[in-house]
Structure 1
Amino acid sequence: MFKKGIDKDDYISFITENKEMLYRVAYGYLRDETKSLDAVDEAVYQGYAHRHDLREPKYLKTWVTRILINECLKIIRNAKRELNMEVLPEESLSPDENSMYLRHALNNLPEELRRIIVLRYFGGYTIAETANIMDIPEGTVSTRTRKALEILKVEVSE
């Protein structure tokens, strides 16, 4: 019989090692520093509270990322109920003008393509891990990645 869940120390160690990746994923979805930090905090808490529900400890990274993505989507849904105002963050990740064009191009990607790029390049996930997180075939991840990169290449070069 295998051990179900993950113990407290292993969970805390995992979060400590992966907090930057989790923030990058949240920021890729939400594009807001404060909301991203809130999403990571809530996902970490939910993961901790339900860590005994994890069936396979080897899937901890995927499991926590799914919790984070669901939290980001909940924040996005709640934000749609509020007055919708497009505001660029005051503190840019990089003052470089090229990064501004890249962020703008990322924001203009269709949602399904942007999610793939966020997970693959901001989260550092492999094609297989991204497919598992999004619950789609690996071939779809690969195709969407190529399509998104082609769109970004055209957008940024203009």
Structure 2
Amino acid sequence: MDKKEFTLRVEAIKKQLYKIAYLYLGNEASALEAVDEAVYKGFKARKQLRQPEYLTTWLTRILINECKKELKRLSKMVWKDTWELEGEVYDYDALPLQEAIEKLPAQLKEVVILRYFSGYTLSETAQSLEIPQGTLVTRQRRALQLLRLELGEGIRK
């Protein structure tokens, strides 16, 4: 894959990549940094991609790994519930769904983000996570059960 083709194809999916990173990291600056790093690493390794039709899932996998690295780095830092910017104090008021997703185990969180917030199909999600579709369906079902419980809706059938 040449530079021009890579650039055009990445340009077409950049919003999707940002959305994934933002849902993982919950922070605009960290999400942009992760996307930049993933695109850079993808660009450097673009000749290793054997099947160009899988660029999106390949780059998504790189992005997920970057997000995991960033989460690990951020977990070592101490956060406040409020912060000050240009003399004004802001409270962090996360939406209940966002809070519930953040509480999910990493494997389940990945599935929810890719399937429901990024619009990936089952097969695309399975490829991105490098797991069988059966495993993906099980994780998806478990994640939805936990989210329903966390949001107080109980388990509906």
Deviation at 1:34, TM superposition (A): 0.5
CA distance in 2, matches of 1:59, 1:105: 31
| Range with greater deviation from structure 2 (148-157 or 128-137) | 148-157
The residue aligned with 1:48 is 43
Cα deviation, residue 153, structure 1 = 2.0
Greater RCO (Cα-Cα under 8 Å, separation 6 or more): 1
Deviating beyond 4 angstroms after TM superposition, the runs of 4 or more aligned structure 1 residues are 86-92
Alignment pair present for 1:59 and 2:33: no
Q: Measure the CA separation in 2 of the matches of 1:146 and 1:30.
A: 23
Per-residue CA deviations over 1:114-133 (Å, capped at 9, x if unaligned) read 11101111222111111111
% identity of equivalent residues: 43
Equivalent residue letter for 2:42: G
Contact 1:21 1:122 in 2 (8 A): no
Structure 2 residue runs of 5 or longer lacking an equivalent are 84-89
Matched, 1:32 2:27: yes
- TM-score, normalised by the number of residues in structure 2: 0.83
Alignment counterpart, residue 74 of structure 1, candidates 59, 69, 72? 69
Residue matched to 2:86: none
Which is richer in strand?
A: 2
Structure 1 residue 88, shift from structure 2 partner: 7.8
Q: Tell me the amino acid that sits aligned with residue 133 of structure 1.
A: S
The answer to whether the Cα contact below 8 Å between 1:113 and 1:144 also exists between their aligned partners in 2 is yes
Residues 156 and 137 (structure 1), Cα distance of their counterparts in 2 relative to 1, 3 Å cut: same
Q: Write the deviation string for residues 50-94 of structure 1: whole angstroms up to 9, x where unpaired.
A: 21111111111111111111111121222233x2326589698xx
Q: Distance in 2 between matches of 1:44 and 1:88?
A: 32
**Structure 1-normalised TM-score?**
0.82
- Aligned partner of 1:84 in structure 2 is 78
| CA RMSD across the alignment | 2.3
- Aligned pair count reads 147
Question: Structure 1 unaligned runs (5+)?
Answer: 1-5
Return closer, same or farther for 1:120/1:91 CA change in 2, 3 Å cut-off.
farther
Name the residue aligned to 2:152. 157
